[in-house]
A = this chain, B = another copy of it.
Amino acid sequence: MTRTSLNHFHCSMARTADIIGDKWSLLILRDVFLGSKTFSQFQKNLGVARNILSDRLDKLVRNEILERRRTRPGVERYSYHFTDRGSELVPVLIAMMQWGDRWIFGEGKEPLELNDQKTGRPIQLIKVLSADGKPLANDEMSASPGSGADSSILTSFHGKRSKVSD
C-alpha cells in the first residue's frame, strides 16, 4: 500500500490524470482551446449541470491550468483563459482528437481540422519522436528511472532499463 501510494504520487502520468483525467475537465479544456471563455459558453457547448461545471472550473483554476479574469471591474462576471502551464496541455488534447479522428470517425470523416494559420496546411499527426526526429513505435522505447526517481521506482527497475510493452 505504501508502495502504491509512492508510485501514484511519484508518477507524472498519475498526477496529471488527477488534475485533468475526467471527461468534463477535458471537454472544458477543449472548449477553451477552441475559443470559449465564459461559464455560459461552456454550459451551452457541454450541456453539463451548473454545479459540475462550477466544480471543474474551480479545480482547473486551483491547479493553475486556467486563469479566471473579471470581465469588468466590480461586476461578478468572469472569463477563463489558459495559463502558460495550461496551454502546454494542448498537445494532450490534440493527440486525443487525432486518435478519435482516426479510430472513431475514420479518414476523410474528421469533424474538425486544425491548420497552421500561416500556411493553411493541416498540422502533423502527433507522434513520439527519437532525439534525431524519427518516429518511434512503442516497442522501440525503453523506460528507466529518471533523475527524480524515488526508491519505489528504483526498486522496481533493479537499476536496469526495461523495455516497454509491445
**A interface residues with partner B (beta carbon < 8 Å):** 1, 4-5, 7-8, 10-18, 20-23, 26-27, 30, 32-35, 37, 44-47, 81-82, 85, 87-105, 108-124, 126-133, 136, 138-150, 153, 161-165
Expressed in whole angstroms, the Cα–Cα distance for A136 and B91 within the complex equals 10
Across the interface, which residues of B come within 8 angstroms of A124, CB to CB? 128-131, 133
User: Measured between alpha carbons, how far is A8 from B91 in the docked complex, in Å?
Assistant: 20
> Quick check: A97 and B164 within 8 Å, CB to CB?
no
Q: Which residues of B contact A150 (CB under 8 A)?
A: 111
Q: Which residues of B are found within 8 Å of A114, using beta-carbon distances? A: 141-143, 164
Q: Which residues of B contact A8 (CB under 8 A)?
A: 46-47
A27→B129 CA distance, assembly (Å) = 22
- Chain B proximity of A5: nearest CB distance (Å): 7
Main DSSP-derived SS at the A contact region? mixed
Asked whether, in the complex, the Cβ of B112 is within 8 Å of the Cβ of A130, the reply is no
Q: In the bound complex, how far is the Cα of B113 from the Cα of A100, in angstroms?
A: 27
- A112 engages B4 (CB within 8 Å): no
Q: Are A4 and B153 in contact (CB under 8 A)?
A: no
* Alpha-carbon separation in the docked complex, A30 to B130 (Å): 20
Name, among A37, A85, A100, A139, the residue most crowded by chain B CB atoms within 10 Å (CB to CB): A100
What's the Cα separation between A17 and B95 when bound, in Å? 11
A10 contact set on B, CB distance < 8 A: 111
The 23 sampled A-B contact pairs (Cβ below 8 Å) are A12-B110, A12-B111, A13-B96, A14-B27, A15-B100, A17-B96, A21-B22, A87-B138, A88-B103, A109-B146, A113-B144, A113-B145, A113-B146, A115-B141, A115-B142, A116-B130, A116-B136, A116-B140, A119-B132, A121-B131, A123-B128, A123-B129, A124-B130
